Amino acid sequence: MSADPQKETGDIHHELHSHLPPEPALRVKAMESLLVEKGMLDPATVDAWVEAYSEKIGPKCGAAIVARAWIDPDFKARLLENGTEAVKEMETAGWAVAHLRVIENTDDVHNLVVCTLCSCYPHAILGPPPNWYKMAAYRSRAVREPRVVLEEFGVTLPDDIDLRIWDSTSELRYLVLPQRPAGTEGWDEERLASIVTRNSMIGTHRDLDPSAGSA
Amino acid sequence: MSRSEAGEIRPLARHDGDPVFDEPWQAQALGLAFTLAERGVFTPAQWSQTLGAKHRQILARGAADNAQTYYEAVVSALEALICDSGKLSADLLDDRTRTWRRAYLNTPHGNPVLLSAGEEAR
């Protein structure tokens, strides 16, 4: 039998559904529209957040902070002493909802940041976290087998390097200050910032590559 | 030789280049969470506790450990906290979700989707 009325109906049904957003999208619309109607939410605020975090606030903000710390020892000292206050000196930071602590990589120390509870992250200076940061696999393995996780990201850490794991919370977020690579002497802030990767500020990248720097 | 060169699975690093948001609703959901936390509807600590718990629940039901599952947890956590705050009820949210679904189904593709298109004749 060639004509299957049920299949045909199914195809039409699919056509109709093709522009139907997925269930969670409808649920978000439901929450938003009800909160707006009840005067508990200004839709412009959510739109402004989405625009800022989709386009403006991202790892470049963090990279600018790192580059300034490399160039300006006083700023670096303030940053390590009180990250929350020091980043206010930058124009780029977004909406801070928590304290920020900046932890420095050295020849002997490597820092790795995780949120074992959910996905706490310094959004205000790095934008939304990468997908792997939110996955249960990262959140458990970064604590259980951090050196294997680092290997996955291409970081082979010698055994004599002290590996420190920092567990973010809703109250306290961490930013890794990576080491400035050799071969970048005399570079200006902007050029230095161009070699700072997002992952280096989370700790899943260690040795920054000067050849990535835009002159 | 690194693991990638050995051709082994690199489950985390494989996601390294993923876009920040796969779909606009994911950004809307996070934007809603930040906005409501700023307005004091819930505290950042309540948010992370609830998001963590919802995420674990969904994973325990066998969902894949990926961005889709994470954002489903974001939506569940938002609903739970909004309902707990007494601002909206779960029934009202379910009802409004159904109305939006009907609105999309009733609106020809390409036209703006208005909530009124999903309202049932009473």
Question: Hey, where are the domains in chain A?
Answer: 21-56, 58-212
Q: Which amino acid makes up residue B88?
A: L
State the CB neighbour count (10 A cutoff) for residue A208. Answer: 18
Tally of structural domains, chain B: 2
Q: Express as a percent the part of chain A with pLDDT over 90.
A: 71
Q: Is residue A118 flagged as an active site residue?
A: yes
Closest among A208, A116, A211 to A155, alpha carbons compared: A208
| DSSP bridge partners of A167 | A114
pLDDT at position B6, please?
40
Catalytic residue among A18, A33, A61, A120: A120
Chain B residues close to A123, C-beta within 8 Å: 34
Let me know: does A80 contact A141? Beta carbons within 8 Å.
no
Q: Is residue A61 flagged as an active site residue?
A: no
Per residue in A127-170, pLDDT (tens digit) is 889 999 999 999 999 999 999 999 999 999 999 999 999 999 98
Gyration radius of chain A over CA positions? 22
Chain B residues close to A118, C-beta within 8 Å: 48-49, 51-52, 55
pLDDT tier at B17 (50, 70, 90 boundaries)? confident
Q: Which amino acid makes up residue A155?
A: V
In a domain, B14, yes or no: no
Q: Is residue A119 flagged as an active site residue?
A: yes
Same domain flag for B58 and B32: yes
Q: Give B9 to chain A, closest Cα distance, Å.
A: 9
In a domain, B17, yes or no: no
Nearest neighbour of A50 by CB, restricted to B31, B93, B97: B31
SS3 A65: helix
Let me know: does A95 contact A49? Beta carbons within 8 Å.
yes
Let me know: does A83 contact A75? Beta carbons within 8 Å.
no
The ipTM (two decimal places) reads 0.89
Q: The domain A58-212 is classified under which CATH number: 3.30.230.10, 3.30.1340.30, 3.90.330.10, 3.30.70.1560?
A: 3.90.330.10
Per residue in A10-21, pLDDT (tens digit) is 555 555 555 889
Q: Is the pLDDT of residue A82 over 60?
A: yes
> Looking up tokens 């900046």, which residue turns up?
A102
In a domain, B5, yes or no: no
